[in-house]
Chains A and B, each alone.
Chain A
């Protein structure tokens, strides 16, 4: 891994050296848009009849060697190709005429590309210029708020942290709801790796050219059994023929804590405890006024650097890039570092009959994980105590002690000590490489063969060590842990493409058949944990200093997928478009009898514009789409559990016979008949464009029905080796409407204003959940909460959205309006208030979510604003329910804690976890980003051009929610105080040369 990055660095350096002396002066010029004179970057300029070519820069300028009698051919996607004679001039300016750009733009779809105007499925493609701006550490966040039907929710503010990605709400219950991610034609493993907070953060967002979001089944069904939750196709930037151009960008940022959790101050705690009058607790009070949240947070510094070169080297188009990012977290000691290198080569051989596409990406990420337990400790630790104590114990940090001076083990730990006394570092290397050989057969050019071979290898390892003075592990005298895991996935694809135009019938046909084989293997290793003073086991003296229950072991879980796929596209008279596809998947995760699944899809589109509005100039596009398809899901389930197997117990789970301890062999619960979960989606869509496409957009209606849900459901005691089992039972329905509108209200010579808006309405309902119907079944308990043991706030229940809250109905005091502690409505009127009085109330998922983007460009200035929001979502305020009580201040085991400010509203003395009082409306709108750009233009005597951008991220949030942040990635809707999302100020410089 490291070797590869070194090689890559070397290679890039060589490119820089060899190519710096390449350009010569001959013909220069500028490519502009005929409409408003704005520069056209990235246009290809070729000297007719030769292989000499170049590309225009960010300001539209180019320079090319040509004879004075030559002819230049200028082309750019969306513009009509133009030929200009040089005729002895040394400056040739070209103005290109726009042809319906939007509709001609190529969009990456499953196993190929399509013109946007010819799409039959529901696909949204976002290119680099429309990505989320500012500091973005992980690629999925580039799409936040940009695509109707796609909800990206970051897990919090930790640097490099993961996000919840949902396309049209997610189709599953117990299996995964994450979409399939395909990077340059290579479906990658989305599951995590120890040491990495999020595997998507290993991809450098600056290397990404575009991302396509495939939403309906007709667009995704070619990915078959992994497509039920949608597909995101990531395409990285490639080189094009022409002069080598370099780009360097650097971005500096600082993140600050926007909001902290409302807790009581030291004085308020003293007042409450003194008023309460209990001598034991009064004696425990300290004199300080510590703001513990202030103690654990910091301003977070970030620095992101990227350099790339692209162009052609000896006629081989290439792009090479390197990047280095360091990003602190606002939680002290938190840091994320990333080095990446990438190389794309796209040479062609045999008179362009063989195109090769080599894509290599290597990255190294280093995390310094802060102990996030400090976030919870900081809001629960007694503010009357100071950070450090005079006792000198536990590294000098204040901790709660028993009257006899020993550590009070169950008390809240000092948050600053948690941060400083734990050293949790990880190192993750990842290499993704694939080569695509596309061969257009010499004697039969209508047919081409694509061969794709790829490897994705990731290794995560790290040390998680706790200081011997730390109160968390003082009994064992600290702890030293090492962990490691490797994952390798390989893919081998063969695809045959056949394209034919049947002129007399005005029909174009293209056919794809393919075979794909993918293998995923994980190498797991567990290592013993060590301490300085572990209890020696008399039977195992060598185990001294090894913590109980931790042993060395290895494993190699593996799964494979073998698929056949086929697709036919038929276009008649450029008006009627039909697509039909079928994929057959066979997975090792199911028994032989149930291994194979077939996923068909059909879609049709009708360009109404061509038939009815051909002469209506106001209307540029009107297309009706219909799609139907079936997709599957198997991700997120155990690799082998269709098999009955016996698992060995660990060293702390043995049984004594005579004087020997025997380990256990335990049969696992299993279901041999388990098979794929299947989702059938119907989609109806309309694409439109008016007024030269200054108003364009689409509307989609979808209906998704999932059957044979892979769900963990109860089975009767005695039926199997557990009382719950992952089996195929249950149905779920998702339906919704998506609207996307992009407008350009102002378009003038020097001023342009773009405004985009997307809106999604989605509902999810479980329609069946049991094998044997049971009238008394209230649903499966889900959504565990903090506080007590085993308390659940949600249910998977028939007729409701997943994880609907299941609570008691709070009774309020009529005069004060305050909730009455422990008093709930006897909903079934049977005279007692017990479990049967709980009711379903609200749900965590949002009904509506929206994204807004706007950009104003005036001369060299640009101003962009982006925001997103969700409505109809509710959260369980677990912080208030667990900490908003007197018991939290006066802890029964004799220490003082801090309480949520909510205690002053309820005055509850003990926790009322299951009250609907704590279910709060979490609808919100967040202004994600305000960014200001200035295009400086030429600098360094015209050798380079500079752009400067400044941005503020996470500007404000509008919400009624009383907790820290209404946007929560937790599927269960339990809000336990996330890592606060920082407000980030950044300044970036971008240099083209």
Chain B
């Protein structure tokens, strides 16, 4: 009896040793998130990444309106890394056209024209376009003919993806234009620069100008003709308009004016099949997708589906408490944009 239970016990022990040392399952993967291989295994995966690339100009992260930011680094998601809000702040606050009364960190340095390189708002608007470009570069690396073929993407889908590559190259040029306009010099990365922790190289303003110009011209043939692609995506008209804007300010960017080129591309846009929508204010209303025939390139927002603290709600805030503290941004029935500032 005693021997039997001993043997039994020894058996259990050995089984336990075997069981515990065999269980070397240390390769674990997240249950809900996708690896690059699974994300890009279907055409709809490509479209979801494309949506992210477009969406980064409208939304600050993966949860609307905030909570899962693209860019962290101690920056505030709503006020510092939102593209429209920060682009507006940089362009307008140093002028007399807008005043802000909030106590957000260094925001008043814009008014006082004494910002420094440590300014979190500037860090945010520097990081935003470059972040968008890293996404675009990754998308381009994943959209090569070889990869599409290896993943068994159908020919029709592959053609659609190739078209979207031209679009993301436009968006890359647009983001670089923002960098060139706001900062002059810029971090410079293309699809040839892989993701890591190294220091990317820097590009001078004039060289960046040349790069943007070259890119916008190179994609002209691949972009859809004006108003032939689904709403929200860019076509040739957007590229022409950006080229026209580029040439208009070429004197500032490069030292050499390019007014003739500006006229050429402006004329191309004017000649394209755009039409004005009746009722100018409606162009800025929630259902403005109805006014799409007027738009060349719109950053789409939506009160339910595309929420952020850095879009037009921020611009619509009206100074209602004028009489007491001159020009205070306050609520005008639009609480969402202000919640972060209570």
Contact = CB atoms under 8 A, between A and B. Distances in A.
Contacts of B325: 892
Interface centre among A410, A650, A651, A667 (most CB of B within 10 A): A667
B9 A655 contact: no
A451 interface: yes
Interface stretch (B53-61, B90-98, B208-216, B264-272): B53-61
B116 A835 contact: yes
Nearest to A720: B195
A9 interface: no
18 contacts: A449-B13, A492-B16, A515-B21, A562-B24, A644-B195, A650-B62, A651-B305, A652-B64, A653-B63, A656-B231, A662-B47, A665-B49, A721-B134, A722-B131, A723-B71, A776-B118, A791-B105, A892-B330
A719 interface: yes
B28 A716 contact: no
B52 A664 contact: yes
Interface string A659-691: 101111111101100000000000000000000
A652 B196 contact: no
A651 B197 CA distance: 32
B192 interface: no
A537 B101 CA distance: 35
A538 to B, nearest CB: 9
Contacts of A665: 34, 39, 45, 48-49, 51-52
Contacts of B101: 892
Contact of A549 (B58, B64, B73): B64
Contacts of A354: 9
A278 B342 CA distance: 23
Nearest 5 A-B pairs (CB), nearest first?
A: A652-B64, A790-B76, A658-B230, A662-B51, A664-B52
A575 to B, nearest CB: 37
Interface of B: 2, 5-6, 9, 13, 16-17, 19-21, 23-36, 38-39, 45, 47-52, 54-55, 58-59, 61-65, 68, 70-76, 78-80, 101-106, 109, 114-120, 123, 126-127, 130-131, 133-135, 138, 187-189, 193, 195-200, 230-233, 289, 300, 302, 304-307, 321, 323-325, 328, 330-331, 335, 338-342
A318 B331 CA distance: 67
Nearest to A638: B30
A597 B67 CA distance: 34
B51 A654 contact: yes
A38 B294 CA distance: 97
A772 interface: yes
Interface of A: 278, 280, 350, 354, 409-410, 437, 439, 442, 449, 451, 453, 492-494, 515-517, 535, 537, 548-549, 553, 555-560, 562, 586-588, 592, 595, 639-640, 643-659, 661-668, 670-671, 712, 714-725, 727, 771-772, 776, 778, 780-782, 787-792, 832, 834-836, 892-894, 910-911, 913
Contacts of B127: 717, 723
Contacts of A535: 304
Nearest to B24: A562
B227 to A, nearest CB: 13
Given A656-B231, A720-B197, A781-B74, A549 B49 contact: no
Given A350-B2, A558-B28, A652-B305, A451 B34 contact: no
Given A664-B51, A667-B138, A835-B118, A788 B29 contact: no
A787 B103 contact: yes
A721 B135 contact: yes
A993 B246 CA distance: 92
Nearest to B102: A788
Contacts of B117: 776
Contact of B324 (A278, A588, A647, A727): A278
A189 to B, nearest CB: 16
Given A439-B9, A492-B20, A667 B135 contact: yes
A962 B278 CA distance: 63
Contacts of A893: 321, 328, 330-331
Contacts of A892: 101, 321, 324-325, 328, 330
Nearest to A410: B342
Nearest to A449: B13
B35 A646 contact: yes
A694 B119 CA distance: 61
A717 B187 contact: yes
Given A654-B51, A656-B305, A721-B135, 17 more contacts: A350-B5, A494-B16, A517-B21, A535-B304, A560-B28, A653-B59, A655-B59, A657-B47, A664-B51, A664-B55, A720-B134, A721-B131, A721-B195, A722-B73, A788-B341, A790-B75, A790-B120
Contact of A588 (B28, B34, B300): B28
Contacts of B324: 278, 280, 892, 894
Interface centre among B35, B71, B304 (most CB of A within 10 A): B304
A670 B116 CA distance: 30
Contact of B28 (A537, A549, A640, A653): A640
Given A492-B19, A656-B305, A663 B78 contact: no
A644 B37 CA distance: 10
Nearest to B292: A658
A718 B64 contact: no
A65 B30 CA distance: 63
Contacts of A516: 20
Contacts of A791: 103-105
B51 A663 contact: yes
A350 B7 CA distance: 12
Contacts of A782: 74
B62 A655 contact: no
Contacts of B120: 781, 790
Contacts of A725: 197
Given A410-B331, A492-B19, A717 B131 contact: yes
Contacts of A515: 17, 20-21
Nearest to A661: B305
Contacts of A650: 62-64, 68
Contact of A649 (B63, B106, B116): B63
Contact of A723 (B32, B73, B76, B340): B73
A720 B131 CA distance: 8
Contacts of A835: 106, 109, 116, 118-119
Given A439-B13, A645-B34, A661 B306 contact: yes
Contacts of B231: 656-659
B3 to A, nearest CB: 10
